[in-house]
């Protein structure tokens, strides 16, 4: 995938917004960037710490970066994070985008990489029913756990938001058209959903969700499940 194509990262100060499993953190460090990697969840960061050398890890909320000085970063990279911002979605997304604008230098670039929304009418991909049902199941479990649900935004909605904040030259490109979901990714997804189901209190609801998950995963193995298209959005301060 041509992620971050043409960006000069060598020696640049980069905010990796949302460490997650640390794939982007490692990538940025390998390209010679000075990385500050932030996530709400310190568990992932502990694991990632072992595979990088210079990165500074901070546990914090992207919607309130008051611990970072403004006008400082050359790049903010948001790799599959906008769709994971939890709870009061719109407010949180706007707050995070405002914070990215504040911490970027004049001329600095925000890069957002994410999936096109599954259900939006303007999505370029029509997703398989199993995929949509898995998505719904995941969101239902999240809601019951009080964690809010995942929300994917069409890039033009994000672009409008960015322009109203003050970003310029917003540019969107498709990185990857819909592709078959690899089996290992499906397995990983299954275990993540299962982990969340196990946290539920009600044994009957738990069983019902597990059963539904088993059925969907079996269907996904025998039918061809495809993932949505991925876009890269760049905006300049």
Ligand X SMILES: C[S@@+](CC[C@H](N)C(=O)[O-])C[C@H]1O[C@@H](n2cnc3c(N)ncnc32)[C@H](O)[C@@H]1O
Nearest residue to ligand X on Cβ basis? 20
Which one of residues 28, 44, 75, 93 is an interface residue with ligand X (CB under 6 A)?
44
Among residues 196 and 219, whose Cβ is nearest to ligand X?
196
Tell me the C-alpha distance between 219 and 198, whole Å.
22
Residue 83 buriedness (CB in 10 A; 0-12 / 13-18 / 19+):
middle
Tell me the C-alpha distance between 87 and 108, whole Å.
28
For residue 217, the SS3 value is helix
Among residues 115 and 167, whose Cβ is nearest to ligand X?
115
Which one of residues 7, 33, 35, 81 is an interface residue with ligand X (CB under 6 A)?
81
3-state class percentages of the chain: helix first, strand second, coil last, to nearest 5: 40, 25, 35
Q: How many residues bind ligand X (CB under 6 A)?
A: 20
Please tell me whether residue 63 binds ligand X under the rule CB under 6 A: yes
Tell me the C-alpha distance between 237 and 235, whole Å.
7
Among residues 137 and 150, whose Cβ is nearest to ligand X?
150
Binding to ligand X (CB under 6 A) within 112-151 occurs at none
Please tell me whether residue 85 binds ligand X under the rule CB under 6 A: yes
Cα distances (angstroms) measured from residue 77 to each of 13, 144, 185, 236: 11, 30, 23, 12
Q: Given the rule CB under 6 A, which of 81-89, 116-124, 144-152, 177-185 is the region that contacts ligand X?
A: 81-89
Residues with Cβ < 8 Å from 168, sequence gap 6 or more?
A: 235, 236, 237
Q: How far is the CB of 116 from ligand X (least distance, A)?
A: 16
For residue 86, the SS3 value is coil
For residue 179, the SS3 value is strand
Among residues 176 and 205, whose Cβ is nearest to ligand X?
176
Which one of residues 15, 24, 127, 134 is an interface residue with ligand X (CB under 6 A)?
24
Please tell me whether residue 108 binds ligand X under the rule CB under 6 A: no
Q: Given the rule CB under 6 A, which of 34-42, 132-140, 161-169, 228-236 is the region that contacts ligand X?
A: 34-42
Q: Given the rule CB under 6 A, which of 84-92, 169-177, 186-194, 197-205 is the region that contacts ligand X?
A: 84-92
- Which helix (H) or strand (E) covers residue 196, if one does? helix 183-198
List contacts with ligand X (CB under 6 A).
Answer: 18, 20-24, 38-41, 44, 61-63, 79-81, 84-86
């Amino acid at each position: 995938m041509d992620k971050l194509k043409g960006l000069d990262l060598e020696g640049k100060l980069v905010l990796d917004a949302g460490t997650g499993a640390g794939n982007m953190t490692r990538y940025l460090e390998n390209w010679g960037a000075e990385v500050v990697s932030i996530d709400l969840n310190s568990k992932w960061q502990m694991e990632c710490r072992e595979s990088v050398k210079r990165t500074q890890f901070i546990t914090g909320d992207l919607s309130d970066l008051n611990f970072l000085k403004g006008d400082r970063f050359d790049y903010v990279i948001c790799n599959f994070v906008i769709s994971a911002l939890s709870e009061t979605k719109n407010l949180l997304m706007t707050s995070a985008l405002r914070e990215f604008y504040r911490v970027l230098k004049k001329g600095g670039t925000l890069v957002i990489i994410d999936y096109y929304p599954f259900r939006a009418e303007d999505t370029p991909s029509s997703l398989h029913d199993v995929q949509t049902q898995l998505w719904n199941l995941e969101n239902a479990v999240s809601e019951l756990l009080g964690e809010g649900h995942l929300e994917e935004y069409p890039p033009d909605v994000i672009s409008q938001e960015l322009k109203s904040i003050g970003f310029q030259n917003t540019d969107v490109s498709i990185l990857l058209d819909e592709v078959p979901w690899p089996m290992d990714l499906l397995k990983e997804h299954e275990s993540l959903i299962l982990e969340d189901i196990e946290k539920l209190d009600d044994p009957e609801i738990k069983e019902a969700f597990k059963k539904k998950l088993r059925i969907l995963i079996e269907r996904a193995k025998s039918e061809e499940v495809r993932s949505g298209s991925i876009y890269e959005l760049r905006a300049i301060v």
